[in-house]
Structure 1
Amino acid sequence: MSTATAPAAAATPTDSATHCPYCALQCGMNLRRTPEGAGTVEVVERPDFPVNRGALCGKGRTAPAVLSSAVRLTEPLVRNAATGKLEPAGWDEALRLVADGLRRTRAVHGPDAVGVFGGGGLTNEKAYALGKFARVVLGTSQIDYNGRFCMASAAAAHQRAFGLDRGLPFPLEDIPRTGCVILVGSNLAETMPPALRYLTELRENGGRLIVVDPRRTRTAEQADLHLAPRPGTDLALALGMLHVLIAEGRTDDAFIAARTSGWQDARAAAMAHWPEMVERITGVPLPQLREAARMFSDAPSGMVLTARGPEQQSKGTDTVGAWINLCLAAGKAGRPLSGYGCLTGQGNGQGGREHGQKADQLPGYRKLTDPAARRHVAGVWGVDPDTLPGPGRSAYELLDALGGEVKSLLLMGSNPVISAPRAAHIEGRLRSLDFLAVADVVLSETAALADVVLPVTQWAEETGTTTNLEGRVLLRRAALRAPAEVRSDLEVLHGLAGLLGHKEGFPAAPDEVFDELRRASAGGPADYAGISYDRIAAEDGVFWPCPDEQHPGTPRLFLDRFATDDGLARFVAVSHRPAAEEPDADFPVFLTTGRVVSQYQSGAQTRRVPELNTAAPGPFVELHPRLADRIGAVDGEPLAVTSRRGRAVAPARITESIRPDTVFMPFHWPGEGRANTLTNPALDPTSRMPEFKVCAVRVERAQAA
């Protein structure tokens, strides 16, 4: 059985350098074989890796626990038509059934009746191969991935303002050296604990920290100023701060004139959001609004960092755009130690969206609708560009179409039964499919619904690259041999492609796939052409774009020009609008959702680790004492939370750290405490991001429901 400890011992020559399988920090760690027996490892600190400098959270320290055969999938499973149960099968049978199911759907209903759904934890090689498999082998446009639920709004706003999306356009090491950070909708202390040191060092260096969050989280407690707006009003807050800068003559007019366009329209939009109105909309007191604006503008340099709070809204792209406008107006972008950045969440959320998993993109962050991009990628793939399908449905729209226009689904590395908004509905759509195949590490709640389940290798058993939130391309090398009946996702795609008539073009070796990815990305916005496995290992990762092997990589973007055609950053005029669903007499309370430190995303892996379950055993409903008094809630007793989409039940956790008009639920658990049963799938019109972070609910003692 795998072990998971983190002694302070120095690395030995036999340690394997790798990276944590969880969040987008991709913390460096070493794996050391343990004396307990073959195939067991422990985590050892890797203090020389610059991102985390040896620090690890509990998830990283315990990551080897999921390698245990006691908790993972170790052989293919096929559903018995007579009993309805999943039963062990051989790989030949399992792959044949998957190929037959996909082939049958294509033959009867056409290629777009077959869907492909990927994951933000897949390596760059797997994400690339999955996108190629969908478009070349299946000929379907219906591919997207769960990263759409992560940072799609920030990506869209980044593209709109700067012409290029990379989570952080600067390395993490710049954060402690800036003058002021505005952290919007992020609780780093629980979502990325090793990154909290950057904010601690910021304040030790004399920098200021402003945290925007409706909850007084562990991160907010570190702030010089905490702003607690009503959920769904971050857009108005950013516009109000920009209004203050304009009214008080605090804008950087020289920077605006030299390096931006669109200022007059954005200025007019901001001036329509006077501070007193913003105070009424957001609930943030006017003195705090002014103090925040002045603190940011007075700093010699500054950054705005956003996360899921402002992004997972039906107006998330405009909300992020408003914060970008604030940076541009203050002259805090395109300069050293300044800029806007998105704290990408999933382990390879950045790389996963760069190389073809998204419905509208080709490798290298090329647009699927661009004829030149289609010609380039088709040339690498050896196909006619006219045979490549066009853009398909976004993630939620694809899941919503299951059982309707989309009859069969191949799913890799995602668990939408827990992670999708309006989750009970999506579970029903998955159940209605003609055929469902799932490749995963564990028998997730989604895998349990499949007709065929394919057991695949994990981070410590496979070689491949990921791209962290800084745009740093990293290498994980296999340190262990997987169980005999477990295969890599690349081997799965290789086998299926062969059965579906494509004997060539889908190698199972990750280095071969990466070399092809480099060629496919060459000349694109996310150019990996100059990055190699050896170079990554020698340099602690390489920042893209890196167009050739002599290029040093690009840790800092936009210092000379932005990635737009004219080199200017674009202001975009945006205005506040309400959330898609506001509280009313029937549903009078806001619900917002998020993570806790000891669980990760849908919990499919972390819920199998005893140490993590002890720390975070189940869901809860966080509410203010005033709301608790009004409904008669008792700490620890069950509460029912009901929205227009369903009902969830979990114990009350009464705290003054949340607004009285808001409740919070973490989203890691299945069953009656599943938070995403409640959430609203209303979509941002640009990013197609669902509105996870705000909906209207009714809260009452469970026995009264």
Structure 2
Amino acid sequence: MPKDKFFKDIENKTHPGEKLIPTHCSYCGMQCGMNLRVNTHTNQIIGVEPRYEWPVTLGKMCPKGVTAYQQTNHKDRLLRPLIRDNAALKGTKDGFREASWEEAYDLIARRFLELQGSYGKDSLSVFSGVSMTNEKCYLTGKFARVALQTRYIDYNGRYCMSSAAAGFMRSFGVDRGSTLPWTDLHETDCLFIAGSNTAECHPTSMFRIWEVQNRGGYLIVADPRETPIARRADVHLDLRPGTDLALANCMVHLLIQNGHIDESFVKEHTNGFEDMAEVVKEFTAEYTSEITGVAPEKLIRAAEIYGKAPNAVVMFARGIEQQHKGSDNVSAYTNMALVTGKIGRPKSGVATFTGQGNGQGGREHGQKADALPGYRKIVNPKHVEEVCKVWGITPEEMPQPGVSAQEMFGLMLDKTIRGLYLLCSNPAVSAPNQNFVRSALRQLDFMVCCDFFLSESAEFADVVLPATTWSEDEGTVTNLEGRCIKINKAQEPIGESKPDWLIQVELAERLGRGQYFRHLQSARKVNDEFRLASKGGYADYSGITWEKIEKQNGVFWPCRSEAEEDTGTPYMFLDKKFYHPDGRAKLCALPYRPPAEEPCTLYPLRLTTGRVVYHYLSGNQTRRIPFLKDMCPEPFVEVHPEMAARYNIVHDERVRLYTRRGEAVYKVKITEAIRQDTVFVPYHYGHEESVNLLTIDALDPMSKMPEFKACAAQIEKLHKEEVNGQ
């Protein structure tokens, strides 16, 4: 039997009393295709099967995706609104009682309006996330600016994709996470992957990466750790955390020095070459080795492979982006593609591994502090006028830009912000410098949290509203390629939970702003308005209908016409026209800056953080799934054997890890896969296990991304009585 027919027969096979609902995973930006198995008698999800026809992952799923359906009917689901009657218990799971939606809405509206009456419109804030549909992300931006009329809105993508966005905007004039479709990756000749533990964070992309090598192509990986993908690399650039900018500048210097640049492309389609070349010329292999710790011969070999490859893709993730110079890192690695002309064509380009399911779409349509739908800017009067026409407000009513997520916590501490509406995010785990963040949440006069589980952040709330999971609603998301796809509803919401968009529509009515929202009574109607609001923007979704998505297996933006022949834009810059006013890309001259906090006598180690394959972001969802929790039940600290010997610590021993901001106790994992001067802790754990008690909140001046990936740390053995008390 032909393989395609075999897979089709498997996929279409259903059992009596079951139906299959085609949809996508709720987790990372791969958005793997899946069919949810639904019992037709109970109308509940009972399992999952892969979708082999989904072109990005071809039926492949990771441990998180295989178990994602288990969150929907989980015993921990919030089923009714909760109201806290004992403010003294903020920051704990105690002090809540169940309430009706009417009582919860009345309390929220009264307290929000009281705060704004006493302290002004901007005394309220919204902190949202990008594990939501485009429709929900869009409506959240509108809710903040039209229903609450506040300037203070930002989102957890500030901790995830903001540096990629800022770097791409500076280099290209537009931010789309990938300039080519993922289905091209296995056909390229070289992959240069920086700061991505791909095999654990985006495992369903690995079959394409291995195929590059199987075909005789090359794999280069830049990472402080010898991750699974680094072990298979032709060159592993094992740099010190926080030194990526020096490494990228070195690559560009060597490409220029060895004649691997495309002079006609640089001359005709870019600006800034001379200034950039002047900056990078000092980054010889020897000088860069002193900064990064990477052997000079590795640097030379990596540049030679990339430079000679007929086609190549530069890829990166949070490792290079979550730094106080993350935007510079992105533009510096992007310089590699621009100087060689390996962009704007099939099998070559630049791509970022998106961390959250809608990390691309969620940053394009109005959740960012300074952004409006379609990637418009609040500071641009023409952009404001275009969106105001859709929303039915005047430009004078549009709030001014706010501040970034981490900066909002500072405004909570000084009482500029007194109220918070939090949804789809868990900053009490995911934000850096947790002692600062948790103090800010306690300082609030009134906090509302929408979630489907009682997260660590919800423990600080005065009201918790039960939201639906991804499988109880429908809408679109945009995967890591820039492909807009459809999430389908598989079962009705359990208990009294409601979709986030509906909660906002109903709250707007209570706040006296219902006339701007009451027409949005379905996800489909929100989609219609969202597409209209994006029309004419850089991220134009106006032509991406639900019907077109189904017919074409997703549609790449920009797509400006609903006509069937407009199939969107899988490849960016095929015409070599970039989005800057002159149509040219910018080659950025980026002097090196060290990490904000370098090791010293008191803190001699470098701490970096990241993911494991079994958990997702703050772990609010995955730590509740039995299989995933069993596979990685607690955090750990990776330590090199020589470092362990120096500190007289052994495998599985518990140690105290501390920085200038806090401390935590972790079990030791001794491994040669980490640099001797570096320790690593996964960030999926809450309360006193959170590594973000230790991380630094130094911000990138452009993207406002905190420096999660590099800070100075120290380890110490626990005293005997401390060990016995564990």
Which of the five TM-score ranges fits, normalised by the shorter chain? Answer: over 0.9
Task: Quote how far apart the aligned CAs of 1:672 are.
Answer: 2.8
Residues 422, 645 of structure 1: 8 Å contact kept: yes
Assess if the C-alpha contact under 8 Å between 1:34 and 1:42 holds in 2. Answer: no
1:558 match: 573
**Does the 8 Å CA contact 1:11/1:30 hold for their aligned counterparts?**
no
Moved more, 434-443 or 33-42: 33-42
SS in 2 for 1:438: strand
3-state DSSP of counterpart to 2:125: strand
Local SS of the residue matching 1:617: coil
Contact 2:345 2:571 (8 Å CA) reproduced: no
Question: How much does 1:37 deviate?
Answer: 4.4
Superposition pairs of residues 425-444 of structure 1, within 5 angstroms: 425-444=436-455
Q: Match of 1:239?
A: 249
Q: Secondary structure at the match of 1:692?
A: coil
Q: How far is 1:334 from its partner?
A: 2.1
Identify the residue that residue 52 of structure 1 maps to in structure 2. Answer: 57
- What is the match of residue 549 of structure 1? 562
Describe the superposition over 1:504-552 as per-residue Cα deviations: whole angstroms up to 9, x where unpaired.
2322311101100111000100001111111112211111000011221
Deviation of the 1:194 alpha carbon: 0.6
2:320 to 310, 323, 332: 310
**Which of 37, 48, 70 is the matching residue for 1:43?**
48
* Contact kept? 2:73, 2:494, Cα under 8 Å: no
For residue 633 of structure 1, what is the aligned residue in structure 2?
649
Contact 1:334/1:562 (8 A) holds in 2:
no
8 Å Cα contact 1:11-1:45 kept in structure 2: no
Give the counterpart letter for 2:472 in structure 1.
Answer: E
Question: What is aligned with 1:3?
Answer: none
Taking structure 2 as the reference length, the TM-score comes to 0.95
Amino acid at match of 2:12: A
Specify which of 77, 80, 91 is matched with residue 75 of structure 1: 80
Matched ranges for 1:321-360 at <5 A: 321-360=331-370
Matched, 1:524 2:537: yes
Q: Secondary structure at the match of 1:680?
A: coil
Report the counterpart of residue 537 of structure 1 in structure 2. 550
Shift of 1:702: 2.7
Q: Which residue of 2 aligns with 1:469?
A: 480
- Whole-Å separation in 1 of the counterparts to 2:8 and 2:241: 41
2:315 partner SS: strand
Structure-1 separation of matches of 2:529 and 2:324 = 37
Tell me the equivalent position of 2:683: 667
Tell me the amino acid that sits aligned with residue 408 of structure 1. Answer: G
Pair 1:604 & 2:614 matched: no
Matches of 1:233 and 1:498, distance apart in 2: 51
Tell me how far apart the structure 1 counterparts of residues 438 and 432 of structure 2 sit (CA, whole Å): 10
Residue 393 (str. 1) matches residue 393 (str. 2): no
**Aligned-pair identity (%):** 46
- Residues in 1 aligned to 2:600 and 2:718: alpha-carbon distance in whole angstroms: 21
Using the alignment, how far apart are the partners of 1:141 and 1:629 within structure 2?
53
Paired residues of 1:210 and 1:227 also in contact (CA < 8 A): yes
Provide, for residues 390-448 of structure 1, a one-character-per-residue CA deviation record: whole Å limited to 9, x for no partner. Answer: 11010111123224211000001100010000012201110110000000010000011
**Which among 491, 512, 517 is matched to residue 501 of structure 1?**
512
| Distance of 1:35 and 1:635 partners within structure 2 | 50
Indicate the residue corresponding to 1:489 in structure 2: 500
Q: Does 1:187 align with 2:217?
A: no
Which string of whole-angstrom CA distances, capped at 9 and with x for unpartnered residues, describes residues 104-157 of structure 1? 111111111101000010111111111001111111110000011101111111
Matched, 1:66 2:71: yes
Q: Look up the match of 1:456.
A: 467
Look up the equivalent residue of 1:298 and give its one-letter code: K
**What residue number does 2:632 align with?**
616
In structure 1, the partner of 2:301 is 291
Could you say which residue in structure 2 is the equivalent of 1:644? 660
CA distance in 1, matches of 2:617, 2:499: 22
Query: Cα deviations across residues 353-390 of structure 1 (Å, max 9, x unaligned)?
Result: 00000001000011111111100000000100111011
> In the aligned structure 1, how far is the partner of 2:182 from the partner of 2:190?
14
Residue by residue, what CA displacement relative to the aligned partner does 1:660-699 show, whole Å, maximum 9, x if unpaired? Answer: 0000000011133211000010000000000000000011
2:330 is matched with 320
| Higher mean displacement: 531-540 or 179-188 | 531-540
CA contact (8 A) 1:24 1:349 kept: yes
Matched AA of 1:401? L
TM-score, normalised to structure 1's length? 0.97
Letter in 2 for 1:91: W
Contact 1:364 1:522 in 2 (8 A): yes
Q: Distance in 1 between matches of 2:470 and 2:667?
A: 34
Q: Which letter maps to 1:66?
A: Q
| Aligned residue among 522, 526, 534 for 1:513 | 526
Contact 1:607 1:613 survives alignment (8 Å): yes
Instruction: Return the offset for 1:475.
Output: 0.7
Measure how far apart 1:82 and its partner are. 8.0
CA distances 1:447-485 after superposition (whole Å, capped 9, x unpaired): 111100000111111011111111111111111011131
Could you tell me how far apart the structure 1 residues matched to 2:162 and 2:705 are? Answer: 6
In structure 1, C-alpha distance between the alignment counterparts of 2:81 and 2:330, rounded to whole Å: 43
Deviation at residue 38 of structure 1 after TM alignment: 4.1
Bigger Cα displacement from structure 2, 412-421 vs 325-334: 325-334
CA contact (8 A) 2:33 2:51 kept: yes
Q: Which shows bigger deviation, 646-655 or 567-576?
A: 567-576
For each residue in 1:216-260, what CA deviation from the matched residue of structure 2 results, as whole angstroms up to 9, or x when unmatched? 001112211111000010100111121112222222212111211
**What is the letter of the counterpart of residue 46 of structure 2?**
V
Alpha-carbon distance in 1 for matches of 2:330, 2:69: 37
Aligned CA distance change for structure 1 residues 616 and 36 (closer, same or farther; 3 Å)? farther
Shift of 1:36: 8.9
1:7 Cα shift? 13
The separation in 2 between residues aligned to 1:73 and 1:80, in whole angstroms, is 18
What residue number does 2:96 align with?
86
Q: Secondary structure at the match of 1:15?
A: strand
Aligned 8 A contact 2:162 2:703 in 1: yes
| Matched position secondary structure for 1:349 | coil
- Asked if 1 retains the 8 angstrom alpha-carbon contact of 2:344 and 2:571, the reply is no
CA separation in 2, counterparts of 1:161 and 1:199? 26
For the 8 Å contact 2:475–2:523, the answer to whether it is kept is yes
For 1:677 and 1:376, locate their aligned partners in 2 and report how far apart those are by CA, in whole Å: 43
Q: 1:77 to 1:168 in 2, by over 3 A?
A: same
Whole-angstrom distance in 1 between the partners of 2:38 and 2:713 = 50
Deviation at 1:12?
Answer: 4.0
Alignment partner, residue 26 of structure 1: 31
Any gaps of 5 or more consecutive residues in structure 2?
1-6, 90-94
Distance 1:102 1:535 in 2: 41
- Are 2:416 and 1:405 aligned? yes
Aligned letter for 1:567? G
Deviations 1:602-652 (A, max 9, x none): 000000000001111110000100110011111101111100000011100
- The alignment status of 1:590 with 2:606, answered yes or no, reads yes
Moved more, 596-605 or 25-34: 25-34
Amino acid at match of 2:574: L
Asked if the contact 1:214–1:658 (Cα under 8 Å) also holds between the matched residues in 2, the reply is yes
Question: 1:571 offset after TM fit, Å?
Answer: 0.5
Counterpart of 1:519, as a letter, is L
C-alpha displacement at 1:83, in angstroms?
8.0
Equivalent position of 1:167 in the other structure: 177
Counterpart in the other structure of 1:199: 209
- Change over 3 Å in CA distance of 1:36–1:83 after alignment to 2: farther
Equivalent residue runs for 1:361-380 within 5 Å: 361-380=371-390
Query: Is the 8 Å Cα contact of residues 638 and 651 (structure 1) preserved in structure 2?
Result: yes
